Amino acid sequence: MINQKTIKNALLWTGAFVAYRLYKLYEVGEGVIYKPVAVRFKRGKTLNDFVISVKVEIMNPQKTIVYLRGIDGELVVNEQVIGYFNSGKSQINPGLNYMWLDFRVAPAVVATLIQAIVAKKVPVLFVRMTTKLPFFSVTDTFAVNPQTVTTDQVFVN
């Protein structure tokens, strides 16, 4: 018969192992580096159908694949959310990866944004991105300044 001390020790070691694995998963998720490298402005069939696409360079320095439950994002200008993005399950392979994030812009700000693009005074766009890992989520915020991105990486369709 197994005594209570053996059961407590087994549970303690199991808990320690699970905590260690979760911490390592957290480290892998935090170790992924996101960097915007291009921005594209697309107009749909109507004025209410406007998309800002941000190309993100993703560097996974680990030698393991990071599995994601999805990515949620907001596009923010002057503390106002102007667009949203979400994706389904995906993975980040080791090394360098690229991903386009397509933000649907709220119809209320489309006219102002188009005027800014035509006047070549596009505001700095902030991307607030929540990466959903298997057991927790990591939120990153980065700025996309179309003025500092090289001109061959800014597209207006």
Domain boundaries, the chain: 1-31, 32-156
pLDDT at 154: 43
Spatial distance between the Cα atoms of 116 and 152, rounded to a whole number of angstroms: 19
pLDDT at 152: 44
Spatial distance between the Cα atoms of 54 and 125, rounded to a whole number of angstroms: 10
For residue 149, the surrounding DSSP H or E stretch is none
CA distances from 4 to 7, 16, 112 (A): 5, 18, 69
pLDDT band at 147 (very low <50, low <70, confident <90, very high): low
pLDDT at 150: 45
pLDDT at 109: 77
Q: Which two tokens stand for residue 148?
A: 């500092």
The model's pLDDT over 109-141, given as tens digits with 9 standing for 90+, comes to 777 777 777 777 767 778 888 888 777 787 878
Residue 76 has pLDDT above 70, yes or no: yes
| Entry field: residues in the chain | 157
pLDDT band at 28 (very low <50, low <70, confident <90, very high): low
In the predicted model, what is the mean pLDDT of residues 34-41?
A: 80
* Class of 32-156 in CATH: mainly beta
Q: Which of 50, 105, 111 is nearest to 83 (CA)?
A: 105
Contacts 24+ apart (CB under 8 A), 146-153: 146/39, 146/122, 147/122, 149/36, 149/37, 149/38, 149/39, 153/37, 153/38, 153/39, 153/55
Q: Is the pTM of this model over 0.85?
A: no
